[in-house]
Chain A
Amino acid sequence: MKISKKYFVIAIVLMVGLIFLNLFPNISGFLKNLIFKAFSPIQEFFIKTGNNIIGFFEIIASIKDLGRENTELKQKNMEIEAELSKLKETERENQILREALNFSQKDTPLYEIASVVGKEIQGGGDWILIDKGSKNGVEKDDVVVSEGPSLVGRIFEVNNNFSKVLLITNSKSVVAAIIENKRSEGLIQKEEDGNKIFMDFVPKEENPKIGEKVITSGMDNIYPKGILIGKIESVDLSQNQLFQKVIIALATNFNKLEEVFVIKPK
């Protein structure tokens, strides 16, 4: 197969162009922002349409479980309402104590709402694109949560109008976490050879129970303390002598994320 001179020239021009783009990050950043602006409405529309189509088929597949699920949800709702009234009472007491101790609420973070307008398109990348960037005050390592709030990830790359969020399901991500009731600390990360998210470095003598909540501990100095990560799905005791591996069912449904919140310290 012969390749003409014309294609050799194209290859050289392409190489020079790519080197140029990499040498001048401002230009490539500008181009990225432009491409994100052009494609994000299309991608957002496709993501939402895809979610609706898949959701429709999931509803059809789960029709037989709907009755049982409805009863469970009603029961859960009652439990949550009871918990909510307790929390309201605690909040009121907390407010009184704050006032008594002269504490201000300056540490309460601000939440910036953002839409998911793009995502990894080849699989395995585990990141999303949101429609808030440096113009909205978003900075690298800002924390991103979904409604609940449950942990989504952190800002990895910032452009003028858009930012890339590294999800906690990404193999590069490590989150310092704590089991809510047991107060056992550990690190949340993705399995190297599998697809599961687990909490490592939980001492063997601890006895974590399936269904217990896992929250951020704040020890990594990135994620603030107390954000829900998920619940314990199973415990693997076969790892080594000192620690056990706690498999986590994440609270966030990453396939159906449409809106998120960027937490910005005040």
Chain B
Amino acid sequence: MSEAVKIIIFVSIILFFQVGIFPHLEIFETYPNIILCSLISISIIGGFKKSIIWAIVSGLFLDFYSLNSVIGIFVVCLALCSYFSSFLSQNVFKKSNPLSIIPIFVLTIIFYDLSVLGLQAIFGFEARLKILTLLTNVVYNTIFTIPIFYLIKKNYAGKLRKI
């Protein structure tokens, strides 16, 4: 199977789960954000330079599909997350075992949630920090990021290094 077909399949699967399945699994106003999970995984495997394109494209997509009237909040947050997670994986948690990956997931998800809230507050949108929602979001997304990370590592690591 060619790499392009693999990428199309990957993006379709992500969209299907994000749009069709996960909204039914909502707990405390939150459900897994597979776009963020895959961005963190790509950042760890391929580094910032490989994940920035995914951050810009998916960020624009999220901006258009949000109620915010300002475009760019999610692009900026995902780009920052991309840098943050690749920085952590290359400088702080260098060992590539599950135990060193989990803190990167947890910290980046918290960083993402806080940066979205921060930017929304700066632009005058309603932004309330709900601890229970944040904690659920962190646990929920971390659980989903682990299999996504290994799926991307197994199928796309070679392609990510080549880009």
Interface residues of A (CB under 8 A from B): 1, 3, 7, 10-11, 14, 18, 21-22, 28, 31-32, 35-36, 39, 42-43, 46-51, 53-54, 118-125, 127, 129, 156-157, 164, 166, 171-172, 192-193, 195, 255
Known: A18-B72, A53-B21. A123 touches B67 (CB 8 A): no
| 21 residue pairs bridging A and B, Cβ less than 8 Å apart | A1-B48, A1-B86, A1-B87, A1-B90, A7-B48, A7-B49, A11-B79, A35-B64, A36-B64, A43-B19, A50-B19, A50-B23, A53-B21, A54-B21, A119-B19, A119-B23, A120-B66, A121-B19, A122-B66, A124-B133, A125-B66
Residue on B nearest A17 in the bound complex, by CB: B72
How far is A93 from B59 in the complex, measured between Cα atoms in Å? 58
**Chain B residues in 8 Å Cβ range of A122:** 33, 35, 62, 66
**Residue B114, interface by CB 8 Å:** no
How far is A192 from B71 in the complex, measured between Cα atoms in Å? 26
In the complex, how many angstroms separate the beta carbon of A35 from the nearest chain B beta carbon? 5
Residue on B nearest A31 in the bound complex, by CB: B64
State whether A35 touches B61 (Cβ < 8 A): yes
Known: A14-B56, A195-B29. A47 touches B91 (CB 8 A): no
Residue on B nearest A118 in the bound complex, by CB: B65
How far is A39 from B62 in the complex, measured between Cα atoms in Å? 12
The count of residues in chain B whose C-beta lies closer than 8 Å to any C-beta of chain A is 42
Interface of B is mostly: helix
In the complex, how many angstroms separate the beta carbon of A34 from the nearest chain B beta carbon? 10
**Residue B115, interface by CB 8 Å:** no
- Contacting A at CB under 8 A, from B112-156, are 126, 128, 130, 132-133
- Contacting A at CB under 8 A, from B28-47, are 28-31, 33, 35
Known: A1-B86, A14-B56. A121 touches B64 (CB 8 A): no
State whether B71 touches A28 (Cβ < 8 A): yes
State whether A121 touches B62 (Cβ < 8 A): yes
State whether B67 touches A125 (Cβ < 8 A): yes
How far is A229 from B162 in the complex, measured between Cα atoms in Å? 55
State whether A47 touches B20 (Cβ < 8 A): yes
How far is A156 from B33 in the complex, measured between Cα atoms in Å? 24
